[in-house]
Structure 1
Amino acid sequence: MADARQDNINLATETHLAHHAPKLKRMRQLSQLLDGAIAIPGTKRRIGIDPILGLIPGGGDTVSAALSGYIIIEAARIGLPREALMRMVGNIAIDTLVGTVPVLGDVFDVLSKANIRNMQIVESHIQAPPTNSAKTDKLFIVLLIVLLISFALAMGIATVAFWSFVANWIRG
């Protein structure tokens, strides 16, 4: 009886993985692009376009957060539990918030790898057999999207306002 139940769980997990394989592939590719696409010569380190986008004042971190949001949206569609999604949103929020600080934010973007950490969260949950309780409701997904977009826009607006203030102060 226990063997039959385990076989059913294994089959459900394999079916779940096969069904979501194209999404997972896109998520992995985007994560790699954002956090590890470019090898730094002479080191074992890699960077992605996230820290490069972060160099664009006022909008780079917002664009990066929006791209990172895709991974979170797909994770929600796959059925990750709310706790995992909230950890993922927290990773991106911290990455975006610290990323807006000149110089320190760029260094942090190179080191933090929030998207790779988020994919590790996805991978750890996707290996577990799917359960109905793990499904995330659509309202929660919409709220996550609104929260992430609002945060990214607020950070972009705050950055533009800060640099406008600095420019006006310098001009006297």
Structure 2
Amino acid sequence: MTQERDLKRVEKAEALAHRMDSAFRLPLTRIRLGWDSILGLVPGVGDTLALMPAAYIIWTAHDMGVPMHRKTVMAWNVFLDWFLGLVPLVGDIFDVGFKANRKNAAILRRHFEEKHATAMAA
């Protein structure tokens, strides 16, 4: 039962990361962006608003027992995304390519797979 619950939480974090980082494709390109990039266009406020979904992914990781060193990497990803996003234009371009939420969801997925692979082997 715990494995199913954890899987649903990982999938929810991945869906949120997709919406925030790559929900839309720029026409005539292969470039994907999400609500994080769109919110980032609003000076000052947009990048700060985008912290809430990112914090949710990190909270989910904490609640699922992700080790501190991985949560530190996740927090660094979010900080870098937020801090560089504050720089007009350069931050917006960085935001489109960096995709901190997708990186963090991948860390969460890796933890889930390692945790449950160990449990299945025992």
TM over 0.5: yes
Structure 2 residues without counterparts, runs of 5 or longer: none
CA distance in 1, matches of 2:53, 2:115: 28
- Compare CA radii of gyration and give the structure with the larger one: 1
Query: Which residue of the partner structure matches residue 40 of structure 1?
Result: 26
> Residue type matched to 1:86 in 2?
T
Query: Which residue of the partner structure matches residue 119 of structure 1?
Result: 105
Question: 5 Å matches for 1:1-172?
Answer: 16-129=2-115
CA distance in 2, matches of 1:87, 1:16: 25
* Percent of aligned pairs sharing the same letter: 35
> Residue type matched to 2:109 in 1?
E
Structure 1 residues without counterparts, runs of 5 or longer: 1-14, 132-172
SS of residue in 2 equivalent to 1:129: helix
CA distance in 1, matches of 2:85, 2:35: 13
Find runs of 4+ consecutive structure 1 residues off by over 2 angstroms: none
TM-score (norm 2): 0.89
Task: Give the CA deviation at 1:16.
Answer: 4.2
CA distance in 2, matches of 1:32, 1:118: 11
RMSD: 1.5
